[in-house]
């Protein structure tokens, strides 16, 4: 969630709504809001970056309450920009637009800065995917050129002296924060005079936007052209809502912003099936109009140019449902039947262990090399090709390492701690294992054997125990478990050296069985 801060009095003035209507409307639009000391804190989901400003929120509320939705268009102009052949693959795209006559004041400037920051942090991926520059147009001399440069000098924002690229990266706060994004080259946006921006790092002090600025240039660079174009639309539409007049900038053979609404076919059958309703075409059109959509009166609807989240009929259905009101839908039981079942059909074992005072745990089937090494696991695990974190790099070969983690996390819990798990382990394929562990002040092999015997009675399987060489157990206090002359697991008192590796101070007994081999029904 992104939290957008707006002033209660200002949003009420912009919409003509009461505070209660604003709060109710935002809640219905899926943006729950809290109000305190004259400010409202609006929680906006990441899929709706168009709501990251007070202007957009006012637009959405006005549309929702039937007050109409503005239309946006960009006027033709002679503003031109060029993408130089030096531009590298790390940040290859550039779009731009001009907005004139913005009714700028402190609150508008504050909203614009907040919008820029929220877009950077969310859809912009901390400026990696999208970097936004906003400039005083009156200080800019066209044409523009976007290029990669080895060395340029300019006065960066918030400084009063000229600095080179390397100095900006080393000494400017924004340079130190985002230097990692320009390892493949130094992007520069320049006009006839000098540098306007060093994206995604910092703008030039020369084009600083202040409360007296009325004419703005917006530049956006990044890695995905469609996203850049959509973000540009969000910004210029918000500025247009403040009285601005939008002008296009020609970039190479293209021109931005591209504000023509995207046309989509109204899949009424799909929407009704998804929502479980029987909307007529006119009802669907009316609902969508409350969310800023337009239509041709026949079979097509038009997506507002600032909406980046619409790509499928399900997105259209979502807006139909929002306008209808989620609380207005009557819950029903699905008209199809799917029988449910446990992932592992061993409820009798569960009940037996619960009856013996055990708690069931559910762990990830993923672990890492360090934990397996601490557990003295000798099997060769299956490695993850592209692990997302260092915590989960391979598949566990047994449940023992997971239970040891559980015991370590609960070592301050009142003794005894008795836990069990039925889950997947991976060695030469996927297997289903049962493992249980006891941590107590005093423990012996006979205790663990008694628990295993209780389990064997419930599942009607006779086990044989034989001496083991498993390093997991104390010598002479462990056993391999056999069923029909086939080894199916092991049990015993855990080696103190292993317990020390996990920071467990009390004795632990553990038993693990591959129940796949038991052929339980």
Q: Is residue 162 part of a domain?
A: yes
Judged against a pLDDT cut of 70, whether residue 340 lies above it is answered with no
Rounded alpha-carbon distances, angstroms, from residue 274 to 101, 304, 502: 45, 22, 50
Pair 195, 279 in one domain: no
Spatial neighbors of 75 by CB under 8 A, at least 6 apart, are: 245, 246, 247, 248
CA–CA dist 519, 350 (Å, integer): 17
Q: Is residue 362 part of a domain?
A: yes
> Would you state the pLDDT for residue 494?
93
Judged against a pLDDT cut of 70, whether residue 520 lies above it is answered with no
Q: Residues of 383-393 as b/e, b for ≥16 C-beta within 10 angstroms?
A: eeeeeeeeeeb
Confidence class for position 429, pLDDT limits 50, 70, 90: confident
pLDDT digits (tens, 9 = 90+) for 127-144: 999 999 999 999 999 999
Confidence class for position 345, pLDDT limits 50, 70, 90: low
CA–CA dist 375, 93 (Å, integer): 50
**Residue 322 belongs to domain spanning:** 262-328
> Would you state the pLDDT for residue 344?
52
Pair 123, 94 in one domain: yes
Indicate which CATH number applies to the domain containing 99. Answer: 3.50.40.10
Domain boundary residue, one of 270, 296, 328: 328
Domain boundary residue, one of 276, 299, 328: 328
C-beta contacts of 377-381 below 8 A and 24+ residues apart? 377/401, 378/471, 379/427, 380/427, 381/426, 381/427
Q: What is the mean pLDDT of the chain?
A: 92
Place of tokens 């009802």: 283
Both tokens assigned to 8:
């209660």
Neighbours of 6 (CB within 10 A): 25
DSSP 239: H
Pair 192, 324 in one domain: no
User: Between residues 513 and 460, which one has the greater pLDDT?
Assistant: 513
pTM score, whole prediction:
0.69
Could you give the number of structural domains in the chain?
4
pLDDT digits (tens, 9 = 90+) for 316-328: 999 999 999 998 9
Confidence class for position 7, pLDDT limits 50, 70, 90: very high
Confidence class for position 404, pLDDT limits 50, 70, 90: very high
> Would you state the pLDDT for residue 378?
66
Confidence class for position 342, pLDDT limits 50, 70, 90: low
Place of tokens 């009101």: 325
Judged against a pLDDT cut of 90, whether residue 346 lies above it is answered with no
């Amino acid at each position: 969630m992104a939290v957008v801060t707006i002033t209660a009095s200002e949003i009420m003035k912009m919409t003509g709504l009461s505070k209660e209507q604003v709060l109710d409307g935002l809640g219905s639009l899926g943006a729950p809001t809290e109000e305190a000391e004259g400010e409202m804190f609006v929680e906006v989901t990441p899929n709706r970056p168009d709501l990251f400003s007070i202007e957009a929120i006012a637009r959405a509320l006005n549309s929702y309450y039937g007050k109409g939705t503005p239309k946006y268009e960009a006027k033709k102009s002679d503003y031109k920009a060029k993408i130089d052949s030096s531009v590298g693959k790390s940040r290859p795209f550039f779009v731009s637009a001009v907005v004139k006559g913005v009714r700028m004041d402190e609150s508008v400037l504050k909203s614009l800065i907040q919008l820029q920051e929220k877009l950077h942090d969310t859809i912009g991926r901390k400026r990696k995917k999208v970097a936004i520059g906003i400039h005083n147009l009156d200080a800019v001399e066209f044409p523009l050129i976007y290029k990669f440069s080895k060395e340029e000098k300019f006065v960066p924002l918030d400084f009063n002296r000229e600095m080179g690229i390397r100095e900006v990266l080393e000494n400017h706060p924004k340079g130190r924060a985002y230097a990692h994004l320009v390892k493949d080259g130094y992007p520069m946006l320049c006009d006839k005079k000098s540098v306007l921006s060093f994206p995604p790092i910092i703008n030039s002090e020369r084009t600083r936007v202040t409360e007296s600025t009325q004419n703005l240039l917006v530049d956006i660079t990044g890695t995905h052209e469609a996203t850049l174009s959509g973000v540009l639309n969000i910004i210029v539409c918000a500025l247009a809502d403040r009285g601005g007049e939008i002008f296009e900038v020609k970039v190479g053979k293209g021109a931005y912003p591209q504000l023509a609404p995207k046309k989509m076919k109204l899949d009424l059958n799909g929407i009704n099936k998804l929502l479980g309703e029987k909307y007529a075409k006119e009802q669907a059109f009316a609902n969508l109009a409350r969310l800023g959509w337009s239509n041709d009166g026949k079979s097509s609807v038009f997506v507002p140019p600032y909406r980046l989240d619409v790509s499928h009929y399900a997105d259209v259905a979502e807006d139909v449902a929002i306008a209808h009101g989620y609380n207005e839908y009557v819950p029903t039981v699905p008209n199809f039947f799917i029988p449910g079942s446990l992932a592992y059909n061993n409820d009798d074992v569960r009940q037996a262990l619960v009856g013996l005072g055990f708690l069931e745990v559910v762990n990830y089937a993923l672990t890492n090399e360090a934990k397996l090494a601490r557990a003295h696991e000798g099997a060769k695990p299956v490695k993850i090709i592209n692990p997302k974190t260092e915590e989960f790099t391979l598949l566990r070969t047994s449940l023992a390492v997971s239970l040891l983690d559980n015991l370590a996390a609960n070592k301050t819990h009142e003794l005894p701690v008795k836990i069990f798990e039925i889950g997947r382990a991976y060695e030469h394929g996927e297997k289903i294992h049962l493992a249980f562990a006891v941590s107590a002040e005093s423990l012996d092999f006979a205790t663990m054997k008694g628990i295993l015997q209780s389990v064997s009675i419930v599942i009607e399987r006779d086990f044989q125990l034989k001496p083991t060489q498993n390093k997991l157990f104390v010598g002479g206090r462990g056993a391999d478990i056999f069923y029909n002359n086939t080894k199916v697991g092991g049990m015993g008192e855990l080696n103190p050296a292993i317990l020390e590796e996990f920071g467990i101070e009390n004795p632990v007994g553990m038993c693990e069985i591959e129940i796949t081999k038991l052929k339980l029904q």
